[in-house]
Amino acid sequence: MKQLRLIAGARLVEGGRWARENLYALLVLGPLVLGMTYFGVGRMVREAEWSPTEWQTLFACVAAAACLAALSLSRASVEVYHVRSPEWVLDALPVSAGAQLSAALMLRASRTLAVGAVALVLRWLAGGEVVSARLFASLGLLVAVLASGEVLSALGWVRWSHRRGGAQGAASLAGFALCATVAGALLADVSRPGGLNAVGRAALVAGGVLTAALLVALAFAAHARWRASDAEFAKRLGARERWGGGVERLAERACGGRRELSSQLARDLRLTLRGFSSAVYAAAGVAVLVILLLVALLAGGVLPGGESESWTSTTWLPRVLAVKFACVLAAAASAALLPVLVAHQRPHFWLERSAGLKGEDAWRAKLYLARVLAAPAASAAWVAGAACGAVPASYAPALLAECVGLWWLVSTVAGGLAFEMPDQPGLALVVTLCAALAAGGLAAVVWPIGLAIYGMGVQPLCLRGVERAQFYLTSTEGV
């Protein structure tokens, strides 16, 4: 118990200091995101004529829980087996396996609390009460089931990768399915008010308690049995060969064969694909969410169809505008990753310095990266619009041209600001997003404005971007 207290204490201190370092993100960005969600998504949800049935909600929540557990496999295995993490010291010290797993479970539960918070926000948006003992019991169970299921799945995943045992793999899948089903049911109960009657709720709570207890017991048993032989294998999982041949070719093509640019772009793409920061997942998640919302809006018939008076005025139909705004939002969310990447790379700029790289080359590589990152999001918006029948077939090519223009403008603005303030990535993220959304939003409403912004604003932005890149390449201040 003393060991667990010491480990938890060290993590608390470290977590508290991380929070202090990221006060800006927590106190400014958090409320900003919540506010935007409330006034944007919340309003759409409240005013939408379509609402999901109970079964649709349950299915979506089970799918969400399964996705969460699957996405957490890698992170949970790092927490259990201490892969390249400070907790390696626990393996070398006389710390029991039980204390190590308890610490990993506590850490996973603390991270899963974020899911509970999201569920609460969803409930609040749906107009349900957010302060009640019953609700907090369900929330606690949701966190317990999901966290223990994630840890058990991670143990099973590493074991199966190591030994490839069919029976063990099937048992692990069964555990995963149980976790996803019960956590999904709890998530549906928490996020949707008034879904269950008293009997159903009691059964759900009882099922949740039993499932959490079962998953925890299985996790401890599997850990005690497998840890000694799997720990070394888990540490070597990261040493496997990595995919990435296509990245070189893509970078070469995007940079027109300029090696000093394509080598930087290939590196940046690899770092992004390998998740250099959790911001990568956040940006990808936001972009995917925007596209899914677009599909839901278009397919659910929430937006009025309308008929345009002429072909040229089709651009202002609500459905077409929705596609264009989704294109801007998704592209901006993807490209907004740049300031975070530059901040991440700043301690390693000695490489660019020692290679004699010019500021313009460093900046231009980031501009190309913004375009490459934003391209799939913009394409997805157009494809979603066309596939859902949002536009008349005769306007689809024109909408494609508009989406291309928006992608180009948004990614240019985001790329141009990449080196604006790498010592304050949180603020840089907000500035980049605001600038890209403002330019893209105006261009989405009236496309000639986009041309005007590009013609008049991009040249000075590029000059400034090159100067900032040169400054940060030569300055080591704040690194």
Binding residues (CB under 8 A) for another protein: these are: 2-3, 6-7, 9-10, 13-14, 17-18, 21, 84-86, 88-96, 228-229, 231-232, 236
Q: Is the CB of 192 or the CB of 227 nearer to another protein? A: 227
Strand segments (E) across 128-195: none
Q: Is the CB of 97 or the CB of 431 nearer to another protein? A: 97
- Core vs surface per residue 133-162: b (16+ CB within 10 A) or e: eebeebbbbbbbbbbbbbbbbbbbbbbbeb
Q: CA angle 430-379-318, nearest 5°?
A: 80
CB of 157 to another protein, least distance (A): 18
Q: Is the CB of 222 or the CB of 409 nearer to another protein? A: 222
Cα gap 344→479, rounded to integer Å? 10
CB of 96 to another protein, least distance (A): 6
Q: Is the CB of 220 or the CB of 368 nearer to another protein? A: 220
Query: Token pair of 275, please?
Result: 């998740």
CB of 159 to another protein, least distance (A): 14
Query: Token pair of 14, please?
Result: 């470290």
Contacts within 8 Å (CB) and 24+ apart, 38-41: 38/125, 41/125, 41/293
Q: Is the CB of 10 or the CB of 106 nearer to another protein? A: 10
Q: Is the CB of 3 or the CB of 308 nearer to another protein? A: 3
For the chain, the residue count is 479
Q: With beta carbons less than 8 A apart as the criterion, state whether 185 and 204 touch.
A: yes
Q: With beta carbons less than 8 A apart as the criterion, state whether 150 and 217 touch.
A: no
Answer positive or negative: Cα dihedral of 281, 287, 289, 291. Answer: negative
Q: Is the CB of 167 or the CB of 228 nearer to another protein? A: 228
DSSP state of 93: T
CB of 412 to another protein, least distance (A): 36
CB of 463 to another protein, least distance (A): 36
- Cβ atoms within 10 Å of 118's Cβ, excluding its own: 15
Cα gap 162→248, rounded to integer Å? 31
CB of 9 to another protein, least distance (A): 8
Phi then psi dihedrals of residue 166, to 5 deg: -65, -45
Q: Is the CB of 95 or the CB of 431 nearer to another protein? A: 95
Roughly what angle, to the nearest 10 degrees, separates helices 338-345 and 425-445? 150
Q: Which of 122, 110, 120 is nearest to 42 (CA)?
A: 122
CB of 252 to another protein, least distance (A): 33
Phi then psi dihedrals of residue 179, to 5 deg: -60, -45
CB of 28 to another protein, least distance (A): 21
Q: Residue with structure tokens 């609402």?
A: 51
Cα gap 244→382, rounded to integer Å? 27
Q: Which of 141, 139, 152 is nearest to 105 (CA)?
A: 152
CB of 279 to another protein, least distance (A): 18
Q: Is the CB of 14 or the CB of 129 nearer to another protein? A: 14
